[in-house]
Amino acid sequence: MADRSSLEEGFQPTNETQGLLHHRTGPWKVHCVKIAIILIIFAGIIFVFVGIASIFESNDPTNPHLVIVRNGAVSAEQEDCSKIGVQMLKEGGSAVDAAIAAEICVGTINAFSAGIGGGGFMIIRDSNGTAEVIDFRETAPAAANKTMFKDKPILAKYGGLSVGIPGEVRGIEIAHQKYGKLPWKRLFEPSIKLSRDGFKVPAELAIKMKWYEKALLETPNLASIYAPNGKLLGEGDLLKRTNFSKTLELIAENGSEVFYRGSIAKSIIKTIQATGGIMTLEDLSNFEPVVSKPIYGYYHGRKVIMTLNVPSGGPVLLSMLNILEGFQLTRGELNGLNLHRIIETLKFGFALRTEMGDPPFTNNTERIEEIMTKDYAAKIRKNISDSITFEPSYYNPLYDVSEDHGTTHISTVDKNNQAVALSSTVNLIWGSQVMDLETGILLNDEMDDFSIPGVPNYFGLYPSPYNFIIPRKKPLSSCAPAIVENNGEFEMAIGGSGGSRILSSVLQVLLNVYDFEQDLLTSIHTPRVHHQLIPNEITAETGYSKELLDELKGKNHSIKIIEYKLGVSEIQAVMRLPNGLINAASDYRKHGIAAGY
C-alpha cells in the first residue's frame, strides 16, 4: 500500500515558498492556501488509494499491497521480514544489509522455505553500476558418489544422507564484509528476538504445517517446535525457537567461524551422522562460496543481469528471453497466439535445461554460452509453429533434472540504488526434515537435486549425466534471481520460489512489465502458465478465459487447471520508476507483503 508519509513529502511547500505566499497575500490568504494544499494532498492520497484498489478488481482484494516509496524497499515473502529489512535501510544500512536481515528472518519464521541450513545465490548491483554474484549453493560432501542413492532414492530426499554442505552463513558474511554498512550483529537482532520471544504463526506457515502435519508430528525434533504440546500449532498461535535464538546469537557474536568450525559445526555433524549422513567437520570447514562476475543479456535494449552461469537457472532464462524478443510481443495483448508462443518457448527452455550442470565438472561451457546468444534463439524460433505444439522429443531434451520446492527470494534496493536479488533454498519443503535439536537448525536435502544414474524420475525419464553426483559438486538449481538496468541505471530486482516454476514465473512477470506494459503489482498477480516439457501439459492458474484456453486446446495443448491461491510459485520484486519512486510487491500467492520508506 502507498506510504502516506512519503507521498506527503512530495507536496510540502518549502519555507521559501511559504514566505513568498505570506508576502504577496497576507496571513489570511496564506491560511486559505495552506488549507487548499492540505485538501490537494488528501485528494491525491485518495486518488492513489483508489487507483491501487482498482488494480485488484479481477484479482484477490484481500492483499492490495503495492508499496510506493521514495528511498528504499524490501520485498520478502513474509511481511515482518520485509519490515525488518526496511528498518535496516532506515538505520543507514545498505541494500545488502536489508537483504541479509530479511533472509535471516525468513529462515526464522518460514523455515520450510529457507534458512541457515541451506544455500543459494545473491546478485549485488552496487550504486556505481558494478555487479557481482555470490554463489553459496550447497555442495556434495567429499565422501559422496554418483551411485549413493541408486538402491534407495528416497534417502536423497529425507534424512542425514540427503544433506548438502550448507552455504548460507558464509555467503551472507562475505556479502556483508564487502557491502555492509551496519554492524554484522545488528542484522541478527530482530530474528533473535523473534525466535526467543516467539512469533504468531502466520497464514502461509500454518498452511504448510497442515500439509505436512504427519511428518512434523512423527519427527520428534520438529514436533518439539511445531507441536510443543503434542498438537500442531495453528495460525495465530505463539511459536518459539529458543535454541535457534541462541544459535543466531553465537553467529552474530562470532561470525561464520562458529558455524563451520566451532560448536555449531560439531552439533550439526553429530546430528547428520546420527541420521545416516556422511558429512564431516572437514566438509563444513572447507566450504567456500564462489564470488564472480554475473552473466547478462539484453531484452528490448534493457540489460538483464543474471547469476553466474549454471548451476543456477540464469542461462535458460536468458535464452527464453532471446527467443521471445523476436516475436515482438511489445504493446500486444496476452492472446492465444502470444500465450502459445510463450509456452513453446518454455518447452524449448526446459529441453535446454537438461544440458545444464556445475561448470567445473561438466566441460560444456561453450554449449552453455551458445544457447544464450541471439543467433541460437533465432534458430529455435524458426522451429516454433504458430499452429500446433509437439511431443517432448521434438524439443530435443537430453534427460531429466530434479527440481526444488522449499525456496525463498528477497529483492531490495536502497536510496543509493544499490540493489540485491537473493534466492535461497533448503530444497524440498522442510528440507531433509532433519532438525538439529541443540542448535535448532533445519537442514537442507539438496542432494536430491542431483540426478541418480539408472533411476528414472516420476515421469519415466532417465537422468542427465551433467547432473550426476561428484564430491564437492553443486546440483542444478532453478533459482533465477535477476537485476534489470535501463540506460545504465537500476530498474528492477526480481526472483522467486517454486522449483522449476521459478523460471516460467520470472519470465512471465518480466514479459508482463516490459511487453504487456502492466504495473509491477499487476504483473506479479496476473495468472500464470507453466510447462516444463515433461509431462507434456500446461498447468494454468485459474483466471484465464475459456476462449483463450480453448484456443490453446485447438493447437493440441493439454491443459491442467490449478487453483490460483495454491501458491505453486511466488515472485518478489522491487522497481525504480522513471519518476524516481520505487514500487515493491510480494506475491500474495504466498501471503507476501513488501515494505519500504
What number is the average pLDDT over the span 92-101?
Answer: 98
Predicted pLDDT at 500:
83
State in Å, rounded, how far the first CA of the chain is from the last one.
11
Distance CA 22, CA 37 (A): 15
Name the grid cell of 261.
568450525
Peptide bond into 27 cis (omega under 30): no
Between 13 and 136, name the one with better pLDDT.
136
Between 151 and 190, name the one with better pLDDT.
190
User: Buried b / exposed e across 449-487, counting CB within 10 Å, b at 16+?
Assistant: bbbbeeeebeeebebbebbbbbebbbbbbbbbbbbbbee
Catalytic positions are 407
For each of the domains in the chain, give its residue range(s) and CATH number, in order of start.
Answer: 66-198+240-296+399-596 (3.60.20.40)
Q: How confident is the model at residue 175 (pLDDT cuts 50, 70, 90)?
A: very high
Predicted pLDDT at 478:
79
3-state secondary structure of 185: helix
Predicted pLDDT at 333:
76
* pLDDT tens-digit map of 411-430: 999 999 999 999 999 988 99
| Cα atoms found within 13 Å of the Cα of residue 458, Cβ hemisphere only | 5
What number is the average pLDDT over the span 350-379?
Answer: 85
Annotated binding site for L-glutamate: 137, 425-427, 449, 477-478, 499
Distance CA 267, CA 281 (A): 10
Annotated binding site: 137, 425-427, 449, 477-478, 499
Grid look-up 522491487 returns 574
Between 544 and 427, name the one with better pLDDT.
544
Distance CA 561, CA 529 (A): 9
* pLDDT tens-digit map of 579-596: 999 999 999 899 999 999
pLDDT at 168 over 50: yes
Distance CA 431, CA 176 (A): 26
- In whole angstroms, what separates CA 542 from the centre of its chain? 22
Question: What are the angstrom distances between the C-alpha of 16 and each of 252, 283, 408?
Answer: 48, 65, 48
pLDDT at 563 over 60: yes
Predicted pLDDT at 31:
45
Distance CA 79, CA 58 (A): 23
Q: For residue 471, which phi and psi values (nearest 5 degrees)?
A: -50, 130
Q: Which are the contacts of 257, defined by CB distance < 8 A and separation ≥ 6?
A: none
* pLDDT tens-digit map of 199-242: 999 999 999 999 999 999 999 999 999 999 999 999 999 999 99
DSSP E strands in 399-452: the ranges are 406-413, 419-427, 434-436, 441-443
Predicted pLDDT at 224:
96
Q: What is the pTM of this model?
A: 0.87
